[in-house]
């Protein structure tokens, strides 16, 4: 129950941020949550975050700041363009579907995880755009309750959010986080930025220096997320076998020596 309440509260805060800010600003900022979530996972595993994780978290924040400052989109239209939204959603859904198809046809878990991470990132970017479009619909419903049945954003939001969640979970079952998470973290804000530009007129800066800075910010984000998603290993930790046992990772010579002195 507490988890559901937290999810609803997070969705409400996300919608409020999108209502007041541009998609090219809000979605990249969400990536910084990884800087806290992944080291927190290490603490929950009763391990200390490594210096590399702390540095990667700081670099991630810097990469997001560079991208947001360089994008600097213009003012948005208050009402979304439904026709443009339909085109963007259709294109994004086709790309996500193609990625999911690749994941089902390949025999490589890493390729499947990458493809599903890309699909989930695209869908989450579309979810953010549709969530921004849903806020005016919710306000309208307060005055005209019957409008909830005919308004397209809530229905599109429900379908895309459910699809994104399923694809995201499938990505975790095919490959480690370090395979799917970086591409998801980049595809999400890029898809949201395209949605914002086409549907709300949020045009990000497109000058040569701005594009170079945006590319640099994305490259930094990919590098730092990859580092954060890499599982940490504390000194002396043991590797588990599939059957649940452990391996002390001794060299063959050391193993023979240990057996030689066994009583």
What is the domain range of residue 102? 15-231
Question: Chunked in runs of 10, what are the mean pLDDT values of the chain (263 residues)?
Answer: 66 82 87 72 70 84 91 80 94 96 93 95 95 77 65 90 94 86 90 93 88 92 84 45 42 40 38
Report yes or no: 190 and 156 within 8 Å, Cβ to Cβ. Answer: no
How many domains are contained in the chain? 1
Rounded to an integer, what distance in angstroms lies between the CA atom of residue 87 and that of residue 151?
17
Specify the pTM.
0.78
- Burial label for 222, CB within 10 Å (0-12, 13-18, 19+), is middle
Domain assignment present for residue 248? The answer is no
What lies within 8 Å, CB to CB, of 121 at 6+ separation is 183, 184, 185, 186, 187, 188, 190, 191
Query: What are the angstrom distances between the C-alpha of 128 and each of 28, 87, 116, 142, 191?
Result: 11, 16, 18, 22, 9
Amino acid 124: pLDDT = 95
**Residue 11: helix, strand or coil by DSSP?**
helix
Q: Let me know if residue 250 belongs to a domain.
A: no
Query: Are the C-beta atoms of residues 156 and 89 closer than 8 Å to each other?
Result: yes
Instruction: Give the Cα separation of 226 and 161 in Å (integer).
Output: 25
CA distance 147 to 120: 30
Q: What's residue 231's pLDDT?
A: 62
Nearest residue to 194 via CA among 12, 11, 22 = 22
Residue 9 belongs to some domain of the structure: no
DSSP 98-126: HHHHHHHH-S-HHHHHHHHHHHHHHHHHH
In a domain, 8, yes or no: no
The verdict on residue 39 lying in a domain is yes
What are the tens digits of pLDDT across the range 181-196? Answer: 889 988 999 999 999 9
Q: Mark 135-169 as b/e (b = at least 16 C-beta within 10 Å).
A: bebeeebeeeeeeeeebbbbebbeebbebbeebbe
Is 249 part of any domain? no
Count how many Cα atoms sit within 13 Å of the Cα of residue 198 in the half-sphere of its side chain. 20
196 within a domain of the structure (yes/no): yes
Q: Which of 182, 189, 209, 179 is nearest to 25 (CA)?
A: 189
Residue 238 lies in a domain: no
| Distance of alpha carbon 251 from alpha carbon 257, whole angstroms | 10
């Amino acid at each position: 129950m507490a988890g559901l309440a937290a999810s609803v509260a997070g969705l409400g805060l996300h919608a409020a941020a999108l209502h007041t800010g541009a998609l090219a600003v809000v979605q990249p900022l969400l990536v910084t949550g990884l800087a806290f979530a992944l080291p927190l996972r290490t603490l929950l595993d009763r391990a200390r975050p490594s210096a590399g994780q702390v540095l990667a978290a700081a670099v991630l924040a810097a990469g997001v700041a560079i991208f947001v400052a360089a994008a600097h989109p213009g003012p948005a239209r208050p009402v979304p363009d439904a026709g443009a939204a339909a085109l963007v959603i259709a294109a994004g859904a086709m790309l996500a579907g193609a990625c999911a198809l690749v994941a089902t046809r390949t025999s490589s878990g890493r390729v499947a995880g990458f493809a599903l991470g890309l699909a989930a990132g695209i869908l989450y970017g579309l979810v953010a755009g549709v969530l921004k479009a849903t806020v005016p619909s919710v306000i309208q419903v307060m005055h005209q309750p019957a409008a909830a049945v005919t308004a397209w954003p809530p229905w599109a939001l429900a379908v895309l959010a459910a699809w994104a969640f399923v694809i995201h979970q499938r990505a975790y079952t095919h490959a480690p986080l370090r395979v799917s998470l970086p591409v998801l973290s980049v595809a999400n804000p890029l898809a949201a930025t395209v949605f914002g530009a086409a549907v709300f007129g949020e045009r990000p800066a497109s000058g040569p220096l701005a594009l170079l800075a945006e590319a640099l910010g994305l490259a930094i984000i990919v590098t730092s997320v990859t580092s954060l998603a890499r599982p940490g290993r504390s000194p002396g930790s043991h590797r588990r076998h599939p059957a649940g046992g452990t391996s002390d990772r001794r060299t063959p010579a050391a193993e023979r020596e240990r057996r030689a002195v066994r009583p």
